[in-house]
A and B are shown apart, each in its own frame.
Chain A
Amino acid sequence: MTDRYEMMIGLEVHVELLTKTKMFCRCSSRFGDPPNTNICPACLGLPGSLPLANMEAVRLATRAAIALNCSINLSSRFDRKNYFYPDLPKGYQVTQFYEPLAQSGYIQIDSPLKKIRINRVHIEEDAGKSIHAGDEIITAEYSLVDFNRSGVPLIEIVSEPDMSSPDEARQYLEKLQRVLKFAGVSDVKMEEGSMRVDCNISVKPKGSEVPGTPCEMKNLSSFRAVARALAYEFERQKCVLEQGGTVVRETRHWDEAEQVTKVLRTKETSDDYRYFPDPDLPMLDLNHEFIEEVRKNMPKLPDEIVSYYVDELGLPEYDARVLTADPLLSGFFDKCVSLGAEPKAASNWIMVELLGYMKAEGISYENIPLSPEYLVSMLELIDKGVISGKIAKDILVIMIETGKDPRTIVKERGLEQISDEESLAGIIDEVIAGHPSVVEQIRAGKNKAVGFLVGQVMKRTKGKANPAKVNVILKDKLLS
């Protein structure tokens, strides 16, 4: 990156709320049902149908807004955004344009430590889904529309253009995703479309007071795509400026295959959405009790959990962040601690062994393949010296794969650690006898070589020997 130009990035994120029913009717909002099975006159826009606001969605949206440090407007309003598209049944989308639910929030990112301001959080309804027969819309022989998604409640979170690198944008998105997940307002899955990101980026000479012309980018299906598209777009706009050109205000499409952005439409041809207050819906009036209730029932958010882990449980900050990647993961950890596990030990085992296994096998947090009870009882076995840490690694995998509890596994497979000094002494004597030169070195003061002999004992006992004890006995025998 050059020093002479800088970028300003703003993000618009759409998130589907975790309600059972749609925003303005009582149809199920479940994802993945057979096409056009969750529909009714309202979400099909039949003549005479009227919208009925879903207060559960309002509650979740309010919770999200509070989690994002926004101030809630006691009185907000629904507006219509008018445009024609086959998956938009009424010919308009109900949204909150003039008076949004919430405003003026922020998200803090870590490197650099920075508050990214949130302009607004508002409620809107989703459109249906168009399915084109063929590779792309232009050549499609026909198109079909699934209205199951029509009317599913969304919130849109609009940031200020406060991010100045693709990495900051990625951090913002990760943090946002995490906060919303912990708040329990959405499952925020990019791949299922329950989280969607549009970016605005403008480029200007470094230090210039005049903001550059922003371009909007769509079709960003992952955080990686966001970061790449931003990097590409920065270079593109910079080139334009360096060659003395001006950036045209336009909407661009990220082409994942070619890794480039392409013009979708320019401002001149863009739609005029003719926003106006929806006359079918009264003002959305909330009272302080409602907001207090939402605040009171707010699940613990990641930042709060991180400081708890660090300050109260003594975990390193790194551990705390890893464990708060997902509420299910931190819930797993919390359960282990509440069952009596030593926090750092639990954290180590979760972060290294459990997550390592899950990553290798492609297992998501929803399906953590182990119960906290088993992990804790395994930690107890280590603690009591029944098994060695090395053996425990195997036991963990066996627990996951067989579903058996660690005690049973240890018993069935004879994996108890050998801590009995007599048995160990015999084996140690054999090892000492077998490695005279090493023994000599140790006696000559090369203490480090003790480790080699410990390793030999472990090898002979197939890892079952208690390494600490072996160490003590060895030193005892060689140095005294």
Chain B
Amino acid sequence: MATKDILKHILSGEISATEVLESYLKRIDEADPETNAFIQVLEPTARANAARADCLLEKGETPGLLAGLPVAVKDNICVKGAGCTCGSKMLENWISPYDATTVRRLREQGAVLIGKTNMDEFAMGSSTETSAYGITRNPWDLKRVPGGSSGGSAVAVAAGMAPLALGTDTGGSIRQPAGFTGICGLKPSYGLVSRFGVAAYASSLDAVGPLGQTVWDCALVLEAVAGADRLDPTSSARGRVAYTKKLDGNVRGLRVGFPRELLQGVSAPVKEQFDKALSTMEGMGIIVEEVSIPSVVHAVDAYYVIAAGEASSNLSKFDGVRFGKRAPAEMLDEMYTRSRGEGLGKEVIRRIILGTFVLGAGHKEQYYLRAAQVRTLIKRDFDKVFEDFDLIVSPASPDVAFKIGEKIQDPLTMYLGDLMTIPVNMAGLCALSMPMGFVRSGGLSLPCGLQVIGKPFDEQTVLRVGDSLEQEIGAEIRQEVRAMRRKLSPVRECELVD
């Protein structure tokens, strides 16, 4: 059942929020052992949230935009009283004493916080293989990765364990897993959604955003969490927008560019799906043209310098002094090195070392400051294209989900997989990832995502076009998703999920 319909049923009283929650909890029992999407299921919290929503409904009050809808939350976003591991052993026993602003807003809008989802450690990864809490598997093929770092949130939605989820996206961590798992995910413009209460990876690039089955789902969650927050000095002063009301199908005459640089290295079958999506858009009256954004080819290099630099500083707080893992040691330096050495995983340490290097005396000009210049260039190039175009599109990733273990030993190849998504973070733009079709091979159907990039704070146009496109191609996708869920594990007593 579509999330929109579940919400309608809850609001009309046909089904209670508690019943909805129990269905999803059951589904988690069925599907999570296979996929490992959740680090922690917040049963008591969720039941209390659902009961509260039901209580308000019974009294005839509206519990908010998300009235009783379960939302899974990536485990780097703080939920008061719950663990927040960030996928790391370092924070195994840390309980957050506060809610992230996004989580507080979800609560205020009547959402049910169903659980904390698995992720690459500290959001550093593109496969959810670097988590200290096990690999999350792609429900379309359990031998494959779901993408990352918000792999747990993507799988929770894809496998029907939660209708909605929150993720974070620093270089593609919402959009790439959404693409790999056949769902929608939105990386909002930098500053639209508060970062307060989100464990920072790279502060100038991090964004919190929604994942859902449909574009409307993403619009709904965005509507609930977006807007100015005085607790986040980098949050924009913009007020709330009713994004779901803006999905009016009015797309005729919009101009969409696809940068040839973002098609480099795209696999033939994905390119085929992308071309199909372009012609569908043309069929909808959208003007589609090839464009060039020369600087994006440097985006990945510059990104790894900036993100690693910021991360090396952001993760210094994990020192074993005040919270988190502390290794016993005689001397202070030994306590630091052992606590961090034992508490942090290989990929995280790799990026900390890289970041420490690029910020170091004698290297900073060559790396960090240079990368900052590249970033300015990328921004300028996008601005130029946006003078003539409303949107920019590309595949969300060069290929479909890869096999577990395939790239984990080869970080550079893994990094290049984010070529399409990284420029968006570098330029502070917004972008939606939505399923555009399937690549079929060896009896498998694997989804691939389309990325729709918009101007800063023009989520409306991005969502409107995504929603319209979904009207055209959504039926096939829904059918495939249903088949996948049934194959994954029998969908018992749970028509909501089906």
**Could you list which residues of chain A lie within 8 angstroms of chain B, going by C-beta atoms?**
41, 44-53, 80, 82, 84, 86, 89-92, 145, 272, 274-276, 279-282
Q: Is the CB of B231 within 8 A of A50?
A: yes
Q: State whether the Cβ of B33 lies closer than 8 Å to any Cβ in chain A.
A: no
Known: A48-B84, A49-B197, A279-B202. 18 other contacts (CB 8 A): A41-B98, A44-B322, A45-B317, A46-B96, A48-B78, A48-B100, A50-B233, A52-B233, A89-B321, A274-B356, A274-B360, A275-B359, A276-B359, A276-B368, A279-B234, A279-B310, A280-B200, A280-B234
Q: Is the CB of A86 within 8 A of B78?
A: no
Closest chain A CB from B438 CB (angstroms)? 37
In the complex, which residues of chain B have a beta carbon less than 8 angstroms from the beta carbon of A84? 316, 319, 336
Dominant SS at the A interface? loop
User: Contacts A41-B97, A276-B364, A280-B233 hold; do A48 and B199 have CB atoms under 8 A apart?
Assistant: yes
Q: Which of B76, B84, B197, B313 has the most CB atoms of chain A within a 10 A radius of its CB?
A: B313
Closest chain A CB from B490 CB (angstroms)? 39
Q: Is the CB of B234 within 8 A of A47?
A: no
| A-B contacts, 23 listed (Cβ < 8 Å) | A41-B97, A41-B98, A47-B94, A47-B96, A48-B77, A48-B197, A48-B200, A50-B196, A50-B231, A82-B312, A82-B313, A84-B336, A89-B317, A89-B322, A90-B317, A91-B313, A92-B313, A145-B321, A274-B359, A276-B309, A276-B359, A279-B310, A282-B234
Q: State whether the Cβ of B82 lies closer than 8 Å to any Cβ in chain A.
A: no
Chain A residue at smallest Cβ distance from B331: A138
Q: Report the bound CA distance from A84 to B100 in whole Å.
A: 27
Q: Report the bound CA distance from A82 to B311 in whole Å.
A: 12
In the complex, which residues of chain B have a beta carbon less than 8 angstroms from the beta carbon of A49? 196-197
Closest chain B CB from A215 CB (angstroms)? 20
The 5 closest A-B pairs by CB, nearest first: A91-B316, A279-B204, A279-B203, A274-B359, A47-B199
Q: Report the bound CA distance from A84 to B332 in whole Å.
A: 10
Indicate with 1 or 0, residue by residue over B287-314, a CB within 8 angstroms of chain A CB atoms: 0000000000000000000000110110
In the complex, which residues of chain B have a beta carbon less than 8 angstroms from the beta carbon of A44? 322
Indicate with 1 or 0, residue by residue over B200-219, a CB within 8 angstroms of chain A CB atoms: 10111000000000000000
In the complex, which residues of chain A have a beta carbon less than 8 angstroms from the beta carbon of B361? 272, 274
Chain B residue at smallest Cβ distance from A52: B233
Chain A residue at smallest Cβ distance from B191: A282
User: Contacts A274-B313, A279-B310 hold; do A47 and B78 have CB atoms under 8 A apart?
Assistant: yes
Q: Report the bound CA distance from A247 to B84 in whole Å.
A: 52
Q: State whether the Cβ of B232 lies closer than 8 Å to any Cβ in chain A.
A: yes
In the complex, which residues of chain B have a beta carbon less than 8 angstroms from the beta carbon of A51? 233
Q: Is the CB of B232 within 8 A of A47?
A: no
Q: Is the CB of A90 within 8 A of B233?
A: no
Closest chain A CB from B261 CB (angstroms)? 26
Closest chain A CB from B121 CB (angstroms)? 13
Q: Is the CB of A280 within 8 A of B231?
A: no
In the complex, which residues of chain B have a beta carbon less than 8 angstroms from the beta carbon of A53? 233
In the complex, which residues of chain A have a beta carbon less than 8 angstroms from the beta carbon of B202? 279
User: Contacts A48-B78, A274-B360 hold; do A91 and B233 have CB atoms under 8 A apart?
Assistant: no
**Could you list which residues of chain B lie within 8 angstroms of chain A, going by C-beta atoms?**
76-78, 84, 86, 91, 94, 96-98, 100, 195-200, 202-204, 230-234, 309-310, 312-313, 315-317, 319, 321-323, 332, 336, 356, 359-361, 364, 368
Chain A residue at smallest Cβ distance from B99: A48
Q: Which of B77, B196, B310, B316 has the most CB atoms of chain A within a 10 A radius of its CB?
A: B316
In the complex, which residues of chain B have a beta carbon less than 8 angstroms from the beta carbon of A45? 317, 322
In the complex, which residues of chain A have a beta carbon less than 8 angstroms from the beta carbon of B203? 279-280
User: Contacts A47-B199, A48-B198, A53-B233 hold; do A276 and B313 have CB atoms under 8 A apart?
Assistant: yes
Q: Report the bound CA distance from A282 to B235 in whole Å.
A: 10
Q: Report the bound CA distance from A53 to B230 in whole Å.
A: 11
Q: Report the bound CA distance from A113 to B84 in whole Å.
A: 61
Q: Is the CB of A272 within 8 A of B360?
A: yes
Q: Report the bound CA distance from A279 to B364 in whole Å.
A: 16
Q: Which of A45, A53, A145 has the most CB atoms of chain B within a 10 A radius of its CB?
A: A45
Q: Report the bound CA distance from A80 to B313 in whole Å.
A: 8
Give the residue of B204, B317, B360 whose beta carbon is less than 8 angstroms from that of A47: B317
In the complex, which residues of chain A have a beta carbon less than 8 angstroms from the beta carbon of B323? 46
Chain B residue at smallest Cβ distance from A276: B359
In the complex, which residues of chain A have a beta carbon less than 8 angstroms from the beta carbon of B78? 47-48
In the complex, which residues of chain B have a beta carbon less than 8 angstroms from the beta carbon of A80? 313
Closest chain A CB from B203 CB (angstroms)? 4
Q: Report the bound CA distance from A80 to B317 in whole Å.
A: 13
In the complex, which residues of chain B have a beta carbon less than 8 angstroms from the beta carbon of A279? 202-204, 234, 310
Q: Report the bound CA distance from A91 to B230 in whole Å.
A: 24
In the complex, which residues of chain A have a beta carbon less than 8 angstroms from the beta carbon of B364? 274, 276
Chain B residue at smallest Cβ distance from A273: B361
Chain A residue at smallest Cβ distance from B306: A279
Q: Report the bound CA distance from A236 to B256 in whole Å.
A: 73
Closest chain B CB from A133 CB (angstroms)? 14
Give the residue of B96, B231, B317, B332 whose beta carbon is less than 8 angstroms from that of A52: B231
In the complex, which residues of chain B have a beta carbon less than 8 angstroms from the beta carbon of A89? 317, 321-322
Q: Is the CB of B96 within 8 A of A48?
A: yes
Q: Report the bound CA distance from A48 to B356 in whole Å.
A: 21
Q: Which of A52, A272, A276 has the most CB atoms of chain B within a 10 A radius of its CB?
A: A276
Chain B residue at smallest Cβ distance from A145: B321
Closest chain A CB from B428 CB (angstroms)? 12
Closest chain B CB from A128 CB (angstroms)? 10
Q: Is the CB of A82 within 8 A of B316?
A: yes
Q: Is the CB of A47 within 8 A of B91?
A: yes
Q: Which of A50, A84, A86, A280 has the most CB atoms of chain B within a 10 A radius of its CB?
A: A50
Q: Is the CB of A90 within 8 A of B234?
A: no
Q: Is the CB of B232 within 8 A of A50?
A: yes
Q: Report the bound CA distance from A24 to B312 in whole Å.
A: 21
In the complex, which residues of chain B have a beta carbon less than 8 angstroms from the beta carbon of A82? 312-313, 316, 359
Q: Report the bound CA distance from A145 to B234 in whole Å.
A: 30
Closest chain A CB from B229 CB (angstroms)? 9
Q: Is the CB of A91 within 8 A of B317?
A: yes
Q: Is the CB of B310 within 8 A of A47?
A: no
Q: Which of A44, A49, A281 has the most CB atoms of chain B within a 10 A radius of its CB?
A: A49
Q: Is the CB of A47 within 8 A of B233?
A: no
Give the residue of B230, B316, B360 whose beta carbon is less than 8 angstroms from that of A90: B316
Give the residue of B86, B312, B315, B332 whose beta carbon is less than 8 angstroms from that of A86: B332
Chain B residue at smallest Cβ distance from A81: B313
Q: Report the bound CA distance from A92 to B314 in whole Å.
A: 9
Q: Report the bound CA distance from A45 to B204 in whole Å.
A: 18
Closest chain B CB from A286 CB (angstroms)? 16
User: Contacts A84-B336, A91-B316, A280-B234 hold; do A50 and B359 have CB atoms under 8 A apart?
Assistant: no
Q: Report the bound CA distance from A280 to B196 in whole Å.
A: 10
In the complex, which residues of chain A have a beta carbon less than 8 angstroms from the beta carbon of B233? 50-53, 280-282
Chain A residue at smallest Cβ distance from B235: A50
Q: Report the bound CA distance from A272 to B91 in whole Å.
A: 28
Q: Is the CB of A50 within 8 A of B84?
A: no
Q: Report the bound CA distance from A144 to B317 in whole Å.
A: 17
Closest chain A CB from B359 CB (angstroms)? 4
In the complex, which residues of chain B have a beta carbon less than 8 angstroms from the beta carbon of A86? 319, 321, 332
In the complex, which residues of chain A have a beta carbon less than 8 angstroms from the beta carbon of B309? 276
Closest chain A CB from B207 CB (angstroms)? 13
